[in-house]
A = this chain, B = another copy of it.
Amino acid sequence: MDGRYLIGLDFGTLSVRGVLIDAGSGVAVDHHASPYRHGVMSGSLPQGTPLPPGFALQDPGDYLTAAEEVLARLGRDRHILAIGLDFTASSPLPTTTDGTPLSALMPGEPHAYVKLWKHSAQRYADAINAAGGAFLDDFGGRLSGEWLLAKAAEIAAEAPDVWAAADRFMEAGDWMVLRLTGREARNLGFAAYKAQYSAAAGYPPGIVPGLEARLARPLPAGSPAGELTDDWRRRTGILGPATVAVAIIDSHAVLPAVGAVEGGTMVGALGTSAGYLFLAERRVPLPVGLEGVAHGGSLPNLWLYEAGQAAFGDLLAWFVRTFPRGPDLSASFAAYNAEAATLAPGDNHLVGLDWWNGNRVPHADSRLSGLLMGFGLDTTAAGIYRALMEALCYGTRRVLELANAGGLDTRRLVMTSGLAETNPLLVAIMADVLGREIELPTIAHATASGAAIHGAVAAGVVADFKEGAARFGARSRRMFTPDSQRSARYELLFSAYCQMADLAPVRAAMRRIGPQGGAAPDIRVTAATAKPKPTFG
Chain A interface residues toward B at CB < 8 A: 311, 314-315, 318, 322-323, 346, 349-351, 353, 355-357, 369-377, 379-381, 492-493, 495-496, 499-500, 503, 505-506, 508-510, 512-515
Contact = CB atoms under 8 A, between A and B. Distances in A.
A126 to B, nearest CB: 21
Contacts of A512: 492, 495-496
Contact of A381 (B322, B375, B510): B322
Contact of A351 (B351, B376, B509): B509
23 contacts: A315-B377, A323-B323, A349-B515, A350-B513, A353-B373, A355-B375, A356-B375, A356-B377, A356-B379, A357-B376, A370-B373, A370-B379, A372-B375, A373-B510, A374-B514, A376-B514, A376-B515, A492-B513, A496-B509, A496-B512, A499-B509, A500-B509, A503-B505
Contacts of A322: 379-381
Indicate how many identical chains form the complex: 2
A503 B510 CA distance: 14
Contact of A506 (B376, B500, B508, B513): B500
Nearest to A371: B373
Given A323-B323, A349-B514, A515-B349, A311 B509 contact: no
A369 B352 CA distance: 13
Given A322-B379, A349-B369, 13 more contacts: A322-B381, A355-B375, A356-B375, A370-B373, A370-B375, A371-B371, A371-B374, A372-B373, A373-B506, A373-B510, A374-B510, A492-B513, A499-B509
Contacts of A351: 509, 513
Contact of A371 (B311, B372, B381): B372
A224 B375 CA distance: 46
B374 A369 contact: yes
Contacts of A376: 356-357, 369-370, 514-515
Given A372-B372, A505-B499, A505-B503, A513 B377 contact: no
B379 A371 contact: no
B375 A513 contact: no
A342 to B, nearest CB: 17
A20 to B, nearest CB: 36
Contacts of A315: 377
Pick from A315, A379, A495 the residue with the most CB of B within 10 Å.
A379
A292 to B, nearest CB: 24
Contacts of A349: 369, 513-515
Pick from A346, A353, A374, A496 the residue with the most CB of B within 10 Å.
A374
